[in-house]
Amino acid sequence: MRSARSAHDAAAVWDIATPSRPGRVPGVSMASFRARTADPVDLSVVPYPAVTVALNLGDGLLAVDDFGGRLPNGGVVVGLASSGVRGYGRDIECLQVRLSPVVAHAVLGASSELGGVVSLEDLWGRDAARIHEQLCAAGSWEDRFAIAEAALARRHEAGRAVDPEVAFVWRQTVTNRGAVRIERLADEAGWSRKRLWSRFRSQVGINPKRAAQLVRFDHAAHRLAAGHSPALVAAEIGYADQSHLHRDVRAFAGVTPTAVAVAPWLAVDDVAWAAPAYLSKA
């Protein structure tokens, strides 16, 4: 989730904490968010190259449009293809986990469901409510991080890994920042394009072309936020032209490149997600 407030206000709105040591499961990042103000906070969920799990742990209400105005008990999973999802509330205190999609497949016990938005309880059953209770009862964020990490590690060990070919294609997509040809990757993986398309979508939640577009969009958004012009970003990252960049940004974020450049979720990312989960080679 990414805040929909201005970049100038982002740091003032949230108290953010991250684990003090690297986690045991590669491809997983965690951060806590506590609202500093009792004023209503509006959160816009912008597509990102990782699967996000959000758990509301405070007394305040955190609502999600897709779930009828309340975050499901145990949390919500926002997949790679989710768009137009909005969270809002007061006195928000939540734990967010970002997972590389090749890790999320094993950890969440899901496949095509990772393309959209789903209740964590739908994926984990009673375990979701039990872990949620443990997190709420914990005395500190470090304790909460440890509880979440133990649950993720247990699930990762017991879960079913993605096909090596799917993991290879994801790594290549990330390494090349989305500038890849799917046919070439299929050849290098030893699969037909049709087989790669089918297996990748079933295990990651989106097809490989969409995954490449998403990774490229994320890189472009950060370059825009760093102050580079849309024309320069389009040329550097491999868009056909500035209009192509504009269409992609509009499709993913629902705003123009100029608006993305000052989007507060990028400012929050610098604090909460210094080591993006999707960059892991897991």
Gyration radius from the chain CA atoms? 18
Closest C-alpha to 145, from 77, 267, 60, 57 = 57
| Cβ neighbours, 10 Å, residue 65 | 13
| Domain ranges across the chain | 2-161, 164-267
Q: CATH fold of 164-267, please?
A: Arc Repressor Mutant, subunit A (1.10.10)
Q: What was the pLDDT predicted at 242?
A: 94
Q: What was the pLDDT predicted at 248?
A: 92
Q: What was the pLDDT predicted at 115?
A: 65
Residue type, 270: D
Q: Which CATH number fits domain 2-161: 2.30.30, 2.60.120, 2.40.30, 1.10.357?
A: 2.60.120
Q: What pTM does this model have?
A: 0.86
- Calculate the dihedral angle through the C-alpha atoms of 159, 164, 165, 169, rounding to the nearest 10 degrees: 80
Whether 2-161 shares its CATH topology with 164-267 is answered no
Q: What was the pLDDT predicted at 253?
A: 84
Q: What was the pLDDT predicted at 162?
A: 93
pLDDT in tens, the chain (282 residues): 333 334 445 556 788 899 988 888 989 999 998 887 777 777 666 778 999 898 988 876 666 665 555 556 568 888 886 766 667 777 788 899 999 999 999 999 866 566 678 888 888 989 999 999 999 999 899 999 999 999 999 999 999 999 999 999 999 999 999 999 999 999 999 999 999 999 999 999 899 999 999 999 999 988 998 889 999 999 999 899 999 999 999 988 888 999 888 876 676 777 777 766 665 555
Q: What was the pLDDT predicted at 74?
A: 65
Q: What was the pLDDT predicted at 36?
A: 77
